C-alpha cells in the first residue's frame, strides 16, 4: 500500500513538472537566448524581424549564428534580397536537430546531412535545403556547407555560444550560409537609365537636328520602356549601347537631315531602326 501511495503521489508531481518543462520549451524565444551576447546583435535583429515566429513552436534545434564582424561584410548583399528571400537565408541557419558540442566531435569525416528550416518551405530543390556538416579529424575543424556539388557557400564553426541540453544549441560560424540557387549579387530592382540620349547627341555637336527629331518622335521613351523590362545586373552596363555610343556609328549629322520625313510615323520608324542597329552592335 505504501508503494501504491508513493506512486500515486509521485505521478501527478512528475506530470506537472513535465508539463511545465514542455510549456517552457514551447515558448522558447531564440532572440531572448541571444540577447545577452552583443556580438550577435545584428544577427538577432534579422532573426527577430524575419523568422522568430517560425522558431517558437520548435523544441529541438541548432542555430548557426553569425557574429557582427562577419555579418557586416555581407550586410549590403542581404539588403538586396526581398524580405521573403532574406527569411529563407536565415531559415538555412536553423538546423532541425539538437546538436551538442560533443555531437559535433563525433561527426564522421564523410559528413552528416542535417535538414534545415528552409527545407520545410518546399522552395528548396532536392535536398538543397539541408547542410552537410564535416569534421577534419586532424585539426578538429567543423565545416558546414551546402550538399550541392561545388557550392561556394560554406562556414566554419567557431565556438559554442549557449545551449539548453537536448533542446537548443547555438554555435557561432564565420560566414553567412547561402542556400544553393540564391544569388545575393542580383538586384531586385533596376536603377534608372543613366544616359540622356538627346543630351549626348547635342554635346557631340552637329547632331542637334537628330536630337530634336528623337525627342519629337518618342523613340527615346520607347527604348527606355523596353529596356526597363529587362532584368538588370548591377555589375553590368544598362545594355551594350550605353557605352558604345550610337553617335559615332548611327546618328546622322545635321547636313544629312536636310530632307526630313514628312510624317512623324516615318520619322519614328527611321530612328527606331538606327537605335536597333546600335543596340545589336
Convert 244-260 to b/e letters by CB count within 10 Å (16 or more is b): ebbbeebbeeeeebeee
Q: Could you tell me which CATH number the domain at 27-173 has?
A: 2.30.180.10
| pLDDT, tens digit (0-9, with 9 covering 90-100), for 188-227 | 444 444 455 655 555 556 666 665 665 566 555 554 444 4
CA 144, CA 136: separation in Å to the nearest integer?
11
**According to the model, what pLDDT value does residue 138 have?**
93
- CA atoms within 13 Å, Cβ hemisphere of 83: 4
Taking 50 as the threshold, does the pLDDT of residue 239 lie above it? no
Strand-by-strand arrangement of the 112-115 sheet: 94-95, 61-65, 168-173, 154-164, 142-145, 130-135, 112-115
Angle formed by the axes of helices 208-217 and 264-280, nearest 10°: 110
DSSP string, 181-194: T--TTS-SSPPPP-
| Share of residues in the chain with pLDDT > 70 (%) | 53
Residue 205 is predicted with a pLDDT of 61
CA gap 238, 190 in Å, rounded: 9
For residue 276, pLDDT beyond 70: no
66-104 confidence digits (pLDDT tens): 999 998 877 656 677 888 999 999 999 999 999 999 999
Ranges of each domain in the chain = 27-173, 197-280
Write out the E strands in the chain: 61-65, 94-95, 112-115, 130-135, 142-145, 154-164, 168-173
Question: What pTM was estimated for this model as a whole?
Answer: 0.59
The residues, any chain, with a CB within 8 Å of residue 91's CB and separated by 6 or more, are 51, 54, 116, 117, 118, 120, 121
Buried b (16+ CB within 10 A) or exposed e, 18-37: eeeeeeebeebebeebbeeb
Three-state SS at 48: helix
Amino acid at each position: 500500500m505504501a508503494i501504491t501511495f508513493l506512486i500515486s503521489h509521485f505521478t501527478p508531481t512528475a506530470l506537472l513538472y513535465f508539463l511545465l518543462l514542455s510549456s517552457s520549451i514551447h515558448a522558447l524565444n531564440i532572440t531572448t537566448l541571444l540577447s545577452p551576447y552583443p556580438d550577435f546583435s545584428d544577427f538577432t535583429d534579422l532573426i527577430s524581424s524575419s523568422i522568430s515566429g517560425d522558431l517558437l513552436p520548435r523544441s529541438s534545434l541548432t542555430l548557426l549564428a553569425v557574429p557582427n564582424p562577419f555579418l557586416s561584410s555581407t550586410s549590403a548583399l542581404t539588403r538586396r534580397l526581398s524580405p521573403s528571400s532574406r527569411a529563407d537565408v536565415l531559415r538555412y541557419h536553423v538546423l532541425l536537430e539538437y546538436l551538442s558540442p560533443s555531437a559535433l566531435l563525433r561527426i564522421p569525416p564523410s559528413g552528416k546531412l542535417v535538414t534545415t528550416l528552409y527545407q520545410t518551405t518546399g522552395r528548396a530543390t532536392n535536398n538543397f535545403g539541408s547542410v552537410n556538416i564535416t569534421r577534419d579529424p586532424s585539426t578538429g575543424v567543423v565545416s558546414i556547407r551546402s550538399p550541392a556539388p561545388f557550392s561556394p557557400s560554406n562556414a566554419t564553426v567557431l565556438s559554442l555560444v549557449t545551449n539548453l541540453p537536448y533542446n537548443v544549441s547555438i554555435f557561432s560560424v564565420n560566414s553567412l550560409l547561402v542556400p544553393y540557387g540564391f544569388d545575393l549579387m542580383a538586384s531586385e530592382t533596376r536603377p534608372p537609365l543613366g544616359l540622356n540620349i538627346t543630351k549626348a547627341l547635342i554635346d557631340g555637336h552637329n547632331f542637334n537636328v537628330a536630337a530634336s527629331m528623337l525627342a519629337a518622335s518618342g523613340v527615346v521613351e520607347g527604348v527606355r520602356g523596353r529596356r526597363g523590362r529587362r532584368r538588370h545586373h548591377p555589375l553590368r552596363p544598362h545594355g551594350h549601347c550605353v557605352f558604345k555610343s550610337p553617335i559615332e556609328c548611327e546618328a546622322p549629322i545635321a547636313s544629312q537631315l536636310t530632307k526630313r520625313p514628312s510624317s512623324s510615323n516615318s520619322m519614328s520608324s527611321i530612328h527606331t531602326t538606327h537605335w536597333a542597329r546600335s543596340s545589336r552592335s
